[in-house]
Structure 1
Amino acid sequence: MPPTNAPELTRAVDPAALDRFADDLAALCAPATARVLVAVSGGPDSLALLLLTHALLGERCVAATVDHGLRPEAADEAAWVADLCGARAIDHAVLRGTLPDRAGNTGNLSARARALRYELLHAHADTVGATHIATAHHADDQVETLIMRLNRGAGVGGLAGVRARSGRVIRPLLGWRRAELGAIVAAAGIVAVDDPSNVSDRFDRARLRKHLAAIDWIDPARVAASASALADAEEAIGWMVRQLGTDRVAAEDDSLLLDPNDLPFELVRRLVEHCVRQIDPAAEIRGSALVRMVNALESGDTAMLGDVLATPIAAKRWRFGKAPPRRLL
């Protein structure tokens, strides 16, 4: 159930915290003109983001709560956030929709809920004229994300963690600790919503969070700095691949020809992915399958991924085209 206390609306956000947040927000958008949609679940992290953003932007701060329909308490929690926003004259909406089917990259429940959440937030941002969507990911989230992805064998892109900016989605709290955000909410006289999924052993992240709580030698701020450096590296590699895509990939009829000569494996891998996606935009590309395709091509063998057939041709050039229809037995 959501908390029943009435927040003390006269308490202002600490000026030092607000100055710090202003610098963080300015690194991601233009606060003087931005209209920011804050995603608010009712938990302490998102409530702190709401308090900081509203204190800085006033009526150019709007809010939305996504009710995924996964827990019976969610509707009451969304209504509680709506009441809190109404008391502070913050424009707020409750967003609902249907979870996407179990397919492709939205196979597990958390991924499907995340896909729905961002779909609804982007649509609402269009409706209210928001220039940016702000979420409350913070330094502790970054540590959890990085460790989970390390455990799954992620590459540079995955280890870049949560990005500070992705399109119009911004995350200005990546340098803040969970405890700092909780203190802002407590100082405002608000008791945040307690989401049971945050402590349920059903979820990988919740189990990891419990283990991390017992470790005092990890510095989340430094881990977040490493993730930021990896994000910079990922951006640089992406830029290089786009340049190479112009020089090394050529169209021929309905096919693409790739020249991978003398390129490092990672660049070849990404150029192959680029070619596959151009031929079959719906292809579900997993890292291991992509590596197998590159290895096969480098060995002089043909390979398939999705509906794409890749074939080595003369002078170490690789051709990518639509695979012939599979024969039914």
Structure 2
Amino acid sequence: MSGDVLGRGATRAPLALASLVALGSLVVAALAACSPAPDPTPTTATEAPAVARPMPAEVPAPAPVAFAPLRGTIVDSASPAHPSIAVKIDDHEAARPQIGLNRADIVFEELVEGGLTRYAAVWHSDVPDEVGPVRSIRPMDPDIVVPFGGLVAYSGGQEQFVSMMQDTPIVNLVFDYDDTGLFHRADDRPSPHDVILAAREAVDRHVDLAPPAAQFAYGSTDPLAPAGFAAQPTGRIDLVFSEERFPSWEWDVPSATWLRSQEGAPDHEASGERLRATNVVALRVEIDWSYGDVPRTVLVGSGEAWVSAAGRTAHGSWSKASREAPIVLTAADGSPLRLAPGTTWVELVPTDGSVTFTP
């Protein structure tokens, strides 16, 4: 009997173990079903350290700028803070090539005795160490120079003309009376075409004087493009002052400047550069012969004008209300005739001369 009991116990033990295993599996499955889903984003054991981003540097304020009053170009605001200097420059054949003309802001060409011409050149934006040859004053020069203020330099002249210039508010620097060392004679040039001025030093000695006022209105690099100006394409300008002087200008596309010739030959300065200008302004002017054989260009008044810039020429008029007033250029439609920013030559052509423009 005991054998029977033992036999039945041995059979029941494996069944109970199997039941427990099955129950455990059910519990594990139930727990798994109730657990939250795992985060699919992989994690690392340590976070990467935050990278320090540099703070942006302080942006400097833009440098203050100004317009060069005699060129209309943008310059550093401090650079115009000095006077201009106007100098009478010789144009006799023996005076060529002249020194520093391409660095002048504005050059006036005027008729003098014998049918020759002479220059009243004004430097402000770019004053050379030396300019020349310096020659004598003429009766129209006060009307040209006074609107600029500052300084005027010349070698002398008839007493009446010197007095006319000295009676203006302009500081006169005169070679005949100079004891300051601003003038000297060049050994390699014939007299009287040999007087040279230390222009930069002259200006530096008078920095207390005011800079010049603007003389002309300026526009874009192609200021005559608007249809209202009716500007004509121009490749060449021919000017006749007299039988002795007939300069010309040719538009040079690569340099965007007018290149000068005199009496049919290319005109150069002492640096070897061809004389050039951004703008050529031609004014028809009356001549006053009340000083004998010395002509006086009449500048207080009005007359016919042409402005040539960027290979175009527009016709209009000029006017000057007084000695102290600048020259005003007006287009045929009544609007201002504007120049291109840069250097300018003003050709004061007598009414008995001529001005011709060729496409």
Normalising by structure 2, we get a TM-score of 0.29
Q: Which has the larger helix fraction? A: 1
Higher RCO (Cα < 8 Å, 6 or more apart) = 2
Instruction: Compare CA radii of gyration and give the structure with the larger one.
Output: 2
Q: Which has the larger strand fraction? A: 2
